[in-house]
């Protein structure tokens, strides 16, 4: 694959925050200051009696629900915001997903890896840029949440004590994550928790290379990637992760803004995808794809751990923003909506007939 980029593919991906309605943002940030249990917000179907309706709403994400009388006056959710009705979803606390169990070789996509001195997560996939191949995962997996240095080794099995023997890639770059250590929440503009590491070239010990070129053992096949605007609520998705392996789910909320504990502070992530529970510690960095057509939608990085009686949600970075900010491509094919004369995914974003 080459390293071509279609500017249209990436247009607006890193500036999507500008499209948020200020009425929603202003209210949410005041509410967050008043009640730390408020985690963020998103846009999805309003739920009544536990069932989703057809009505889109502004969904306020909280750790757990309380009676209005127990909530600070600045955090009582109004009936409507920005011309839309509101809903409240109890989603539990956010946490990044890493753990410490090693995995043996070989190195397929979806296996557990780690920085030579860091916590482990999942090898999402191989991407390309500037005619080089890179391993894609989270910043908190490959770059120790921003504390690592370029050319640090990435190892498999994870948490290896034999770095030279077990190295598979060298850290190349990562997107720094803004936290409350340096910026207040309302000034943060985190879009991804992502990093890449250049794959080591084949050698006499590994003549076929260090990482597979596609899913080799899971039955999945990466075909393309989707723009954020082409990811609908209720889309059937799946992932292969280092801890829970193959797991299926659905997109629940789009354009979500949520705060996540990160490197000793709190990080506000905007324009996120929230899905049903498809990840556990060790799955961070997994590539999330559409079940039906193999198109990538995002990079799994955190979990909203539910309180009793609720269900966990998984937080996913949109793959369009990941590619844009890291200047790599996950696939030469961009997914084309079926309404586009039945076109299939095609190289460099141009449609081709079936």
Domain ranges of the chain: 1-329
The model's pLDDT over 237-282, given as tens digits with 9 standing for 90+, comes to 999 998 999 999 999 999 999 999 998 899 999 999 999 999 999 9
- Burial class (CB within 10 angstroms; exposed 0-12, middle 13-18, buried 19+) of 87: buried
Q: Which residues of 146-170 are buried (b: 16+ CB within 10 A; e: fewer)?
A: bebeeebbbbbbbbbeeeeebbbbb
The model's pLDDT over 296-330, given as tens digits with 9 standing for 90+, comes to 999 999 999 876 667 899 999 999 999 999 999 99
Q: Which residues of 13-22 are buried (b: 16+ CB within 10 A; e: fewer)?
A: bbebeeebee
The model's pLDDT over 91-150, given as tens digits with 9 standing for 90+, comes to 888 877 765 444 445 688 999 999 999 888 999 999 999 899 999 999 999 999 999 999
- Banded pLDDT at 14 (limits 50, 70, 90): very low
In whole angstroms, what is the distance from residue 32 CA to residue 75 CA? 7
Q: What tokens appear for 57 in the block?
A: 């709403």
**238 or 12, higher pLDDT:** 238
Q: What is the mean pLDDT of residues 155-168?
A: 88
Q: Which residues of 293-302 are buried (b: 16+ CB within 10 A; e: fewer)?
A: ebbbbbbbbb
Distance from the first to the final alpha carbon of the chain = 21
* Main-chain dihedrals φ then ψ at residue 313, nearest 5 degrees: -120, 150
Q: What is the mean pLDDT of residues 168-176?
A: 96
Left if phi > 0, otherwise alpha if psi is -120 to 50, otherwise beta: which for 38?
A: beta
Signed CA dihedral, 291, 292, 298, 303: sign only: negative
């Amino acid at each position: 694959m080459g390293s071509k980029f279609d500017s249209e593919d990436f247009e607006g991906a890193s500036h999507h925050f500008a499209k948020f309605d200020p009425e929603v943002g202003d209210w949410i940030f005041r509410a967050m200051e008043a009640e730390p249990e408020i985690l963020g917000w998103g846009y999805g179907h309003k739920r009544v009696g536990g069932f989703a309706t057809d009505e889109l709403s502004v969904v306020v994400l909280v750790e757990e629900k309380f009676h209005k009388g127990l909530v600070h006056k600045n955090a009582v959710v109004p009936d409507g915001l920005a011309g839309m009705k509101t809903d409240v979803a109890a989603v539990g606390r956010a946490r990044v997903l890493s753990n410490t169990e090693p995995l043996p070789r070989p190195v397929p996509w979806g296996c557990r890896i780690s920085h030579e001195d860091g916590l482990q997560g999942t090898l999402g996939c191989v991407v390309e840029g500037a005619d080089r191949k890179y391993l894609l995962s989270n910043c908190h997996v490959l770059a120790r949440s921003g504390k690592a240095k370029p050319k640090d080794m990435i190892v498999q099995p994870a948490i290896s004590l034999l770095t030279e023997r077990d190295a598979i890639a060298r850290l190349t770059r990562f997107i720094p994550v803004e936290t409350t250590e340096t910026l207040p929440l309302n000034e943060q503009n985190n879009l991804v928790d992502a990093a890449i590491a250049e794959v080591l070239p084949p050698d006499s010990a590994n003549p076929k290379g260090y990482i597979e070129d596609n899913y080799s053992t899971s039955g999945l096949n990466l075909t393309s990637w989707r723009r954020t605007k082409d990811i609908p609520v209720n889309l059937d998705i799946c992932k292969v992760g280092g801890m829970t392996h193959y797991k299926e789910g659905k997109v629940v909320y789009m354009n979500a803004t949520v705060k996540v504990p990160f490197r000793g502070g709190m990080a506000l992530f905007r324009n996120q995808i929230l899905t049903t529970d498809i990840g556990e510690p060790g799955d961070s960095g997994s590539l999330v794809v559409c079940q039906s057509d193999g198109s990538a939608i995002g990079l799994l990085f955190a979990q909203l751990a539910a309180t009793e009686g609720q269900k966990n949600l998984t937080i996913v970075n949109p793959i369009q923003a990941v590619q844009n900010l890291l200047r790599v491509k996950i696939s030469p094919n961009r997914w084309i909506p079926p309404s586009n004369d039945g076109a299939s995914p095609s190289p460099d974003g141009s449609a081709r007939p079936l």
